[in-house]
Amino acid sequence: MPTTAKICGLTTIETLDAALAGGASHVGLNFFPPSPRNLSADQARMLAARTPDQVHRVGVFVDPDDALLDMAIAAGRLDILQFHKTAPARIAEVARRTGLATWAAIAIKTRADLDHARDVAGAASAILYDAKTPDNAALPGGMGVRFDWSLLDGFRHPLPWALSGGLDADNVAEAIARTGATLVDVSSGVETAPGVKDVDKIAAFLRALIRSG
């Protein structure tokens, strides 16, 4: 199965167009105010309107309340909800209420962190393995940190999964070969500064993905 890509944290038409032109299967729209990638309802509507239906629109959240979820789902025409630092019971509740697919982000630093993947097996539709950021970090992801991919060796994934954390055009082929990931997620690896996506970096990442197949 060819590996596909989610370009996460898009904020402008130009970078969205670069993601679509390069063949991204998913686009990530962030709804977390402390993030430099956070979107207003108007921005989300603008990006969603330009995204064809065959490309998945993923809303990225950090333990959101219902009001934020409802706004984002409507404005971003979301079909997938990605949760960071959110309890499995809450993810399951949102899945039941909205009927949408849910991804649970699991922060990885040691093999023991993979135990949390089993915790969300009955709640989420899929798992996003991401690198654990420092305890004092303002953001739960999108900081260019990667984890040791060998930690996934031999692990029996309880759900479909995607790989994130420190990916860029230079290492994505190695990451896919090492882990067998069929979906990869990039944010800071296609930026020139936090929250500032670069059309050339997006294009290079997606070209590297195609070559890896």
Is residue 23 within 8 Å of residue 207, measured between CB atoms?
no
Q: Using CA atoms, how far apart are residues 63 and 194, in angstroms rounded to an integer? A: 22
**Given the DSSP bridges, would you call strands 101-108 and 126-131 parallel, antiparallel or unpaired?**
parallel
In DSSP notation, 25-72 reads SEEEEE--TTSTTB--HHHHHHHHHHS-TTSEEEEEEES--HHHHHHH
Element (H, E) at 163: strand 161-163
Residues designated catalytic: 8, 130
For the chain, the straight-line distance linking the first and the last C-alpha, in angstroms and rounded, comes to 9
Q: Using CA atoms, how far apart are residues 23 and 133, in angstroms rounded to an integer? A: 29
- In whole angstroms, how far apart are CA 2 and each of 25, 87, 202? 11, 32, 18
**Given the DSSP bridges, would you call strands 196-197 and 191-193 parallel, antiparallel or unpaired?**
antiparallel
Element (H, E) at 212: helix 199-212
Tokens of residue 85, six digits: 């630092």
